[in-house]
Chains A and B, each alone.
Chain A
């Protein structure tokens, strides 16, 4: 209170004459930013540009091959499958994490055990993909039909009269089995963020709608959903960014075998199994291109928020 008065008084003296060498010298900001910019330039910007260049070179980066690496990726059967798996992941895992996160956020709102349930969903966030991979290997454990099923899922399935399945090997299920692990980890994130946004809706708005006779369904679609829509966009973008570069889950659970490979893992294998830097870089560039629209939208959104400040 007194402070606001102070600044008003002193406003005049604040901005004008630059002090000698002190707070306002031109090089000062760059001194503060120097180390950060240097690190980001050397270890983020330069490598990204260099990767783009390398994707046009041969496996050992010695000769220029034009678009050959890309041609290979888009014609090779197994590499196309890898791309297709990433698309599956992108669509299904995104919808599941955001959808379930929203559902739980809505259900749990104002329930007495809210914080307990939220913590239960949120705990997997603290667990590494490696740890989660081990946890879920036990859920998916498989034994032939006449044996005791030690895996929870098969024990459940057989108890209601179905045949046990090799969830991680059978190509009908294994991609979905891996996605469930991702969903298990990240739904908690979506739920927490969406829930915070739901709580930001003023009660009066809901009350007013109820007085006007709106049903719960109408309130959700006409008021709640539009009001938290920006948050839904943010959460969805975060999921897309994450899922595009999904690596650990697949690496730990199937190693990319049985038709479960994804771009980031194929990249790793090109790097360390095939020593093909060209194809590896091209795969990375494909990820980069896929992520670019998201990056653009994100920067635009933050820019708009900045303008409101």
Chain B
């Protein structure tokens, strides 16, 4: 485990980032004039290409790794020496930053708030979206196409163009500053995309199946519940993951609709406040940022397949 075999593992090339990076432009030029293989890459041998793409991957990972390493370093060192020096002998790592963040900075409450906000704000749009999408996909009624085209146009509207009147509604009904305000706002904002995506998925299900259910005398509710939903689990999962990430990572709606009440603030708001008030208190910031990324990263790595599928379903084609 301790010695990495340079041939067997791509990790070996991770330790020599500077050289291939300079060779990169030269190689891509060479690639364009080459022939054979897949497009653009004809002239490149597999080895060089592997090095190039690994370097790109590395460049993308380094900033996150840097923050991760920093979050385990003593506060005094974070802003005075580079995180890469932490790998050299006087190893100086600590859990203090995390301890401080979790205990003193109210991150525990923020984490809880994020969960309280995100779970209903994920379930509601998926559920309501599925019910609406079923009607759009499998019921025939006048105005159906017309309605569908409005629904495709809606997710494109910038949130900013809706926030002031919504805030007025929430303030008039006493919802500003409550979790419910965010549940409603996120549900409404996520609904058009949810309906669009699920409607496409539902209407691609085999027609025979739905019709035979109808012939067997199943009601719409029954068809929906025991036929459509079980068949659509992958689509529902993709959508739910998407919506969850979106809500979890949202800053704007939380800033506006929670009216600055810190005891209900989700993690994005708390971390953003830390950036502003602790601009140079780096040890708190590093750990706090990492805590806020933890759940999305776990979701991402465990459900990557659904995540990618959701993206493709939403953007490539119905």
Q: Digitize B147-182: 1 where CB-to-A-CB distance is under 8 Å, 0 elsewhere.
A: 111011110111111111110010000000000000
Within 8 A of A (CB), among B71-106: 78-84
Binding site for B on A (CB under 8 A): 3-4, 6-7, 10, 13-14, 22-23, 26, 28-30, 32-33, 35-37, 39-40, 42-48, 50-51, 54, 103-104, 106-114, 116-117, 119-131, 133-139, 141, 148-152, 155, 184, 187-189, 192-193, 196-197, 206, 210, 214-217, 219-220, 223-224, 231, 234-235, 238, 241, 244-245, 247-248, 251-252, 255, 263-264, 267-268, 271-272, 277, 280-281, 283-285, 287-288, 291, 294-295, 298-299, 302-303, 305-306, 309
Give 10 closest A-B pairs by Cβ, nearest first: A43-B188, A128-B249, A216-B42, A36-B132, A120-B57, A47-B162, A32-B135, A126-B300, A47-B165, A134-B289
| CB of B300 to closest CB in A, whole Å | 4
Q: Which of B43, B70, B164 contacts A216 (CB 8 A)?
A: B43
Contact A196 B312 (CB under 8 A): yes
How many inter-chain contacts with C-beta < 8 Å in the A-B complex? Answer: 360
> Does B116 reach chain A (CB closer than 8 Å)?
no
Q: A36-B132, A150-B80 are in contact. Are A107 and B56 (CB under 8 A)?
A: yes
Q: Can you report 12 residue pairs joining A to B where beta carbons are below 8 Å apart?
A: A29-B140, A32-B132, A36-B131, A47-B166, A51-B161, A110-B37, A127-B249, A193-B312, A216-B38, A220-B40, A299-B153, A305-B317
Q: A54-B165, A107-B49 are in contact. Are A288 and B157 (CB under 8 A)?
A: yes
| CB of B272 to closest CB in A, whole Å | 5
Which among A3, A44, A120, A137 has the highest number of chain B CB atoms within 10 Å? A44
Contact B220 A23 (CB under 8 A): yes
Contact B57 A112 (CB under 8 A): no
How many chain B residues touch A (CB < 8 A): the figure is 123
**Residues of chain A contacted by B37 (CB below 8 angstroms):** 110, 216
Q: A30-B141, A149-B82 are in contact. Are A193 and B316 (CB under 8 A)?
A: yes
Closest to A11 in B: B211
| CB of B183 to closest CB in A, whole Å | 11
Measured in the bound complex, the distance between the Cα atoms of B214 and A303 in whole Å is 28
Contact B158 A284 (CB under 8 A): yes
Contact A113 B50 (CB under 8 A): yes
> Does B209 reach chain A (CB closer than 8 Å)?
yes
| CB of B268 to closest CB in A, whole Å | 5
**Residues of chain A contacted by B67 (CB below 8 angstroms):** 134-135, 138
Measured in the bound complex, the distance between the Cα atoms of B40 and A110 in whole Å is 12
**Residues of chain A contacted by B212 (CB below 8 angstroms):** 3, 6-7
Which among A133, A150, A285 has the highest number of chain B CB atoms within 10 Å? A150
Identify 5 new A-B residue pairs, CB closer than 8 A, beyond the known A33-B147, A127-B249, A306-B318: A44-B191, A125-B307, A131-B290, A245-B158, A284-B164
> Does B229 reach chain A (CB closer than 8 Å)?
no
Contact A234 B315 (CB under 8 A): yes
Contact A107 B78 (CB under 8 A): no
| CB of A35 to closest CB in B, whole Å | 5
**Residues of chain B contacted by A214 (CB below 8 angstroms):** 35
**Residues of chain A contacted by B132 (CB below 8 angstroms):** 32-33, 35-37
Closest to B223 in A: A23
Measured in the bound complex, the distance between the Cα atoms of B308 and A193 in whole Å is 9
Q: A29-B135, A193-B312, A247-B251 are in contact. Are A206 and B39 (CB under 8 A)?
A: yes
Measured in the bound complex, the distance between the Cα atoms of B250 and A151 in whole Å is 27
> Does B23 reach chain A (CB closer than 8 Å)?
no
Q: A111-B53, A128-B292 are in contact. Are A192 and B311 (CB under 8 A)?
A: yes
> Does B248 reach chain A (CB closer than 8 Å)?
yes
Contact A131 B211 (CB under 8 A): no
**Residues of chain A contacted by B148 (CB below 8 angstroms):** 306
**Residues of chain B contacted by A4 (CB below 8 angstroms):** 208
Measured in the bound complex, the distance between the Cα atoms of B50 and A198 in whole Å is 19
Contact B53 A104 (CB under 8 A): yes
| CB of B197 to closest CB in A, whole Å | 12
Which among A42, A130, A285, A291 has the highest number of chain B CB atoms within 10 Å? A130
**Residues of chain B contacted by A23 (CB below 8 angstroms):** 214, 219-220
| CB of B286 to closest CB in A, whole Å | 7
Contact B191 A121 (CB under 8 A): no
Contact B311 A6 (CB under 8 A): no
Contact A133 B39 (CB under 8 A): no
Measured in the bound complex, the distance between the Cα atoms of B188 and A130 in whole Å is 23
Contact B318 A40 (CB under 8 A): no
Contact A251 B272 (CB under 8 A): yes
> Does B117 reach chain A (CB closer than 8 Å)?
no
